């Protein structure tokens, strides 16, 4: 006789979204708003994913300054702003735009919006398994607090970042970048307080070479820009980092220091820890990355206090609830968007989201960042959300089917929100029309998204 104390629950929904980050949260809310009984399963104790770490949201403006995002993404920012958790979109010569958000307000507003839309949330539960019958996902099992819960649904949406649900369902994927399999590094984000930005800017006045992105890539990216734009991302201090490395005080494989504004003047997010040569979809490597990440946070705090003018009294104010993972699995969808397609606009007419950010690849083995301008926002076709060979499942957020260069642009949080809204809206449409998500009529989906304020390319609007 088994002495197991393991409990078991059974549930049934129309739509189940796994992962409550920028890809999963809008998917759940859009599905519920479309009339689907929706469950959002989240492994941690907070919604928001990487948006709950102090990072600013990228993707609202493209290189030309044109709006690339509306719909849920803008609504979420408006809701955050109403409670002091966002302060608007700031243009940026490096990042096109940056929209600072409060990591804790993200967690709260996400719950508020789920409740208003009627989304049920299951926190502290992780994917365990998926049941696939004749190529269609029928049910998943999740685990939390000595309890397994088997959930049947008509449509499942993978918002786990790593694609744990699609992986469990047997969907095809590639790991990391084409050819090398190298994955962009992971980072443990944290925020500090007690710093003196005026003193820091005065140091930059006296040391203009400390601005890490040069004018030929980003005209106007100088200390005056940082002063004038309350929301900004500073990248630089190459010399101070080199000096600390020479002194044995900086062992992180990184040649620059990065700060990001939050909506609070008193809190600054630090995006400088770096875990290279790590596959964060593997639990052992993820755990090891976290261990090293915590130690890097301390090293960075000491670096700031010792080497960086204006940060002598910096104190730790928050460590992100999870390791920030840039890249792991890329799934293969009915359509795989390549950068050549972006150039030729081959798939724009099927677009359900716009990507307005540049190519931004953090080296997974070295210490640098590769940046390349993308001139204007490009469309992400619906087929990138539909995993090849598996029915009843949609991909959202950074799991979608794109090549490494497209990924390096489309992975940002604003774009992930637009993708998520498209996935959730498609799931609700499939339910209403009694079709599978693979068969959703793309012009009808595009029309609904536009009605909700989403921004799509002109060629997509002609079919919508
Ligand atoms: C260090 C770093 C810096 C970045 N900088 C920026 C930036 O400045 N601006 C920007 O816009 N973007 C930035 N990005 C990119 C962006 O944050 C991510 O690509 C984006 O958050 C991906 O969204 P997602 O919802 O797919 O994944 P995530 O944000 O990772 O969210 C996934 C969610 O799923 C949950 N989950 C995972 N596995 C399971 C499971 N098995 N079961 C249940 N739940 C699960 C997680 O807990 C999490 O809540 C950065 C990323 C990193 C890592």
The predicted model scores a pTM of 0.97
Q: How far apart are CA 105 and CA 79, in angstroms?
A: 10
pLDDT in tens, 65-103: 999 999 999 999 999 999 999 999 999 999 999 999 999
Question: What is the Rg, in whole angstroms, of the alpha carbon atoms belonging to the chain?
Answer: 21
* Dihedral sign from CA coordinates of 49, 51, 57, 60: positive
Q: Which fold has domain 3-182+327-463?
A: FAD/NAD(P)-binding domain (3.50.50)
Rounded percentage of the chain residues whose pLDDT exceeds 90: 88
Distance 325 CA to ligand 1 centre (A): 6
Give CA 28 to chain center in angstroms.
16
State residue 442's pLDDT score. Answer: 97
Q: Is the pLDDT of residue 229 over 90?
A: yes
Q: Regarding beta strands 190-193 and 315-319, do their DSSP bridges make them parallel or antiparallel, or are they unpaired?
A: antiparallel
For the chain, the domains span 3-182+327-463, 190-319
Q: Is the pLDDT of residue 366 over 80?
A: no
State residue 369's pLDDT score. Answer: 80
Q: Which of 256, 289, 251 is nearest to 271 (CA)?
A: 256
State residue 346's pLDDT score. Answer: 85
Lining ligand 1 with CB less than 6 A are 18-24, 41-44, 49-50, 55-59, 126-127, 159-162, 164, 187, 189, 271, 322, 324-326, 397-398, 411-414, 416
387: confidence class by pLDDT, cuts 50, 70, 90 = very high
Closest C-alpha to ligand 1, atom 13: 412
Determine contact, residues 263/87, Cβ cutoff 8 Å. yes
Q: In what order do the strands lie in the sheet with 126-133?
A: 7-12, 147-152, 136-144, 126-133
Distance 272 CA to ligand 1 centre (A): 16
Q: How far apart are CA 370 and CA 347, in angstroms?
A: 26
For the segment 403-419, the average pLDDT, to the nearest whole number, is 96
Q: Which atom of ligand 1 is nearest to the CA of 184?
A: 53
Distance 414 CA to ligand 1 centre (A): 11
Distance 22 CA to ligand 1 centre (A): 7
Q: Is the pLDDT of residue 109 over 90?
A: yes
Q: How far apart are CA 22 and CA 414, in angstroms?
A: 7
For the segment 193-214, the average pLDDT, to the nearest whole number, is 94
Of all helices (H) and strands (E), which one includes residue 365? none
For the segment 224-235, the average pLDDT, to the nearest whole number, is 95
Distance 20 CA to ligand 1 centre (A): 9
Where are the strands (E) in 184-328, listed by range? 190-193, 233-236, 257-261, 268-270, 315-319
136: β partners = 133, 391
Q: Is the pLDDT of residue 434 over 70?
A: yes
Distance 398 CA to ligand 1 centre (A): 8
Backbone angles phi, psi at 212, to 5 degrees: -80, -15
Q: Is the pLDDT of residue 218 over 70?
A: yes
Q: How far apart are CA 106 and CA 161, in angstroms?
A: 18
Q: How far apart are CA 416 and CA 85, in angstroms?
A: 19
Range among 82-91, 353-362, 367-376 with highest mean pLDDT value: 82-91
Closest C-alpha to ligand 1, atom 50: 326
State residue 345's pLDDT score. Answer: 87
Average pLDDT, the chain: 95
How is residue 464 written in tokens?
Answer: 């919508």
pLDDT in tens, 236-295: 999 999 999 999 999 999 999 999 999 999 999 999 999 999 999 999 999 999 999 999
pLDDT in tens, 33-57: 999 999 999 999 999 999 999 999 9
Q: Is the pLDDT of residue 342 over 70?
A: yes
How is residue 170 written in tokens?
Answer: 């047997």
Q: Is the pLDDT of residue 464 over 70?
A: no
Closest C-alpha to ligand 1, atom 40: 126
State residue 92's pLDDT score. Answer: 94
Q: In what order do the strands lie in the sheet with 257-261?
A: 233-236, 257-261, 268-270, 190-193, 315-319
Concatenated DSSP letters of 295-348: HHHHHHHHHHHHHSTT-TT-EEEEE-SS-B----EEE-BSS-B-HHHHHHTTTG
């Amino acid at each position: 006789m088994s002495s197991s104390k393991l409990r078991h629950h059974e549930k049934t929904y129309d739509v189940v979204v796994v992962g409550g980050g920028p890809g999963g949260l809008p998917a759940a809310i859009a599905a519920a708003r479309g009339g689907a009984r929706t469950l959002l399963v989240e492994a941690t104790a907070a919604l928001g994913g990487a948006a709950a770490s102090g990072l600013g949201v990228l993707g609202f403006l493209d290189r030309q300054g044109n709006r690339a995002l509306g719909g849920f993404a803008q609504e979420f920012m408006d809701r955050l702003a109403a409670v002091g958790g966002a302060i608007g979109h700031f243009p940026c010569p490096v990042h096109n735009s940056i929209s600072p958000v409060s990591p804790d307000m993200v967690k709260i507003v996400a719950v508020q919006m789920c409740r208003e839309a009627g989304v049920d949330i299951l926190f502290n539960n992780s994917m365990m398994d998926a049941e696939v019958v004749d190529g269609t996902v029928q049910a998943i099992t999740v685990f939390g607090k000595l309890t397994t819960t088997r959930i049947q649904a008509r449509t499942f949406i993978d918002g786990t970042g790593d694609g744990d649900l699609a992986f469990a369902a047997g969907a095809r994927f590639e790991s990391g970048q084409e050819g090398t399999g190298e994955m962009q590094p992971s980072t443990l984000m944290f925020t500090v307080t007690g710093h003196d930005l005026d003193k820091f800017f005065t140091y930059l006045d006296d040391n203009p070479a400390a601005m890490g992105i040069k004018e030929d890539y980003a005209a106007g990216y100088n200390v005056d820009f940082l002063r004038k734009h309350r929301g900004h991302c500073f990248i630089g201090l190459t010399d101070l980092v080199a000096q600390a490395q020479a002194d044995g005080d900086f062992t992180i494989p990184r040649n620059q220091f990065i700060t990001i504004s939050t909506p609070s003047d008193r809190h600054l997010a630090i995006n400088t820890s770096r875990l290279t040569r790590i596959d964060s979809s593997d639990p052992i490597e993820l755990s090891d990355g976290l261990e090293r990440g915590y130690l890097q946070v301390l090293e960075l705090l000491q670096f700031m206090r010792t080497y960086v003018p204006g940060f002598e009294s910096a104190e730790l104010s928050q460590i992100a609830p999870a390791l920030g993972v840039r890249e792991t699995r890329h799934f293969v969808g009915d359509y795989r968007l390549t950068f050549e397609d972006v150039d030729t606009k081959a798939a724009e007419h099927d677009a359900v989201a716009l990507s307005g950010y540049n190519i931004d690849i953090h080296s997974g083995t070295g210490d640098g960042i590769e940046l390349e301008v993308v001139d204007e926002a490009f469309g992400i076709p619906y087929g990138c959300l539909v995993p090849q060979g598996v029915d009843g499942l949609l991909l959202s957020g950074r799991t979608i089917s794109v090549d490494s260069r497209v990924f390096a642009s489309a992975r940002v949080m604003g774009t992930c929100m637009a993708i998520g809204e498209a996935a959730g809206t498609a799931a609700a449409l499939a339910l209403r029309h009694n079709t599978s998500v693979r068969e959703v009529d793309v012009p009808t989906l595009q029309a609904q998204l536009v009605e909700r304020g989403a921004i799509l390319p002109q060629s997509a609007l002609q079919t919508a």
